[in-house]
Every structure is written in structure tokens, then in C-alpha cells.
Amino acid sequence: MGQTIEVSIDNQGGILLPPEMKSRLHLSPGMTMIVEEDDQERLCLRVQTESAGLVDKEGIIVVRAEASEDLAGVTRRERNGRVEDLLKRTGL
């Protein structure tokens, strides 16, 4: 283990981590954490690493994965390519 710190539990049962630790570990709201308890009642909290997988979203199967590059840039490149193709086909 790298670091031991003292944390608090808020009124809603959430574990409060220092902002610098959340930033360093790239933690964000909605992430899944795994809590492991050993025989000596010690807890280990770790980030659930998820691989790409198929998920049913209201009857539509989608891939759950992280983007490998900036989606805005990909969208812009794809749009520009399609516009160029249309201009070439129309002779403009």
C-alpha cells in the first residue's frame, strides 16, 4: 500500500477523500469502488476497473468503454470529411 490516511463518513454514508487524492487517482462521481474486508476487520478500498462491455440501455445494446481520444476532434474530422466528399460529388 502506498499511503494511509484518516477519512470521515458523511451524514449520507459517503466516504470523504481529500481532493488531492481524488485528483491523483482520477476519481469522479459515479465511479464504482470495491470495498474488501479481511479477517482482522481491515478494509481496503479500490477502484473497480471495467473493461469494455455491452450494456442494455433501455432496450438498446451499447458499448461501455472509455474514449481513446478527444471525441470533439473525432466528430469534427468526420464531419469535415463528409462535407468534403459531398462537395466533390456535387462538383463544387
Query: What grid cell was written down for 85?
Result: 466528399
Residues 26 and 38: their CA atoms lie apart, in Å, by 26
Grid cell 466528430 in the structure block, residue? 75
For the chain, domains (ranges, CATH) are 1-49 (2.10.260.10)
- The rounded distance, in Å, linking the Cα atoms of 57 and 87 is 37
pLDDT band per the 50, 70, 90 thresholds, residue 78 = very high
Confidence check: pLDDT of 54 > 60: yes
CA–CA distances in Å: residue 6 to residues 1, 9, 27, 43, 76: 14, 10, 18, 12, 46
Q: What is the mean pLDDT of residues 44-68?
A: 78
Give the pLDDT confidence score for residue 1 in this predicted structure.
52
